[in-house]
């Protein structure tokens, strides 16, 4: 699903979306915003690339980050819940985190490159997805992550019965 299809999908259902992004660093919101009229579906987003912002802006528990890492289902769940608690009155809240490339500094990553986690909060249910994205570069992984997020949101909205939720 590309940006135009995703926009139409939300627009036709009169739904709005708000994002909390780590691995995509704003690419998810930017991709939605690339479609004319996107302001009718996109409320906005928060980029929490570093752990400090996940804690300060989205109230991710520092112990969660220490125990499970920033690239985990647990962190993504706390990110989406923190986003929803901001009172932005969106129909869909989505959070995404993961590993786009091997770290080049002292940051410790225990997950493979391409491992992503997505949390979608819709109608008071949180759906968790994880997958391994194959890509030749960090940007390719980030772009494929956006497409994956679009697909998973569509599945949630279409009420697929085989989805995992909390």
Give the domain ranges of the chain.
Answer: 3-157
The CATH code belonging to domain 3-157 is 3.90.950.20
Give the confidence band of 72 by pLDDT, cuts at 50, 70, 90: very high
Strand order in the sheet with 115-122: 42-47, 17-21, 92-98, 115-122, 125-132
**Residue 18 pLDDT more than 70?**
yes
Kindly indicate the confidence band of residue 106, based on its pLDDT and cuts at 50, 70 and 90.
Answer: low
**First-residue to last-residue Cα distance in the chain:** 25
The answer to whether the CB of 119 falls within 8 A of the CB of 79 is yes
Q: What is the pTM of this model?
A: 0.92
Residue 103 has pLDDT above 80, yes or no: no
Distance CA 130, CA 148 (A): 10
Radius of gyration of the chain (CA): 15
Given this model, what pLDDT does residue 109 score? 67
* Per-residue DSSP letter, 112: P
Q: Can you tell me the distance from the alpha carbon of 157 to that of 1, in angstroms, rounded to the nearest whole number?
A: 14
């Amino acid at each position: 699903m590309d940006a135009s299809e995703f926009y139409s999908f939300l627009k036709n259902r009169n739904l709005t979306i708000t994002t909390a992004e780590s691995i995509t660093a704003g690419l998810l919101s930017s991709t939605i915003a690339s479609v004319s009229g996107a302001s009718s579906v996109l409320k906005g987003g928060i980029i929490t690339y570093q752990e400090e912002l996940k804690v300060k802006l989205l109230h991710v528990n520092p112990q969660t980050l220490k125990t499970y890492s920033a690239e985990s289902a647990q962190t993504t769940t706390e990110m989406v819940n923190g986003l929803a608690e901001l009172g932005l009155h969106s129909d869909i809240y989505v959070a995404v985190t993961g590993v786009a490339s091997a770290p080049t500094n002292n940051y410790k990553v225990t997950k493979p490159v391409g491992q992503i986690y997505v949390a979608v909060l819709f109608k008071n249910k949180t759906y968790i997805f994880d997958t391994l994205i194959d890509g030749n570069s960090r940007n390719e992984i980030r772009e494929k992550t956006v497409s994956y997020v679009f697909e998973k949101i569509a599945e949630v909205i279409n009420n697929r019965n085989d989805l995992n939720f909390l």
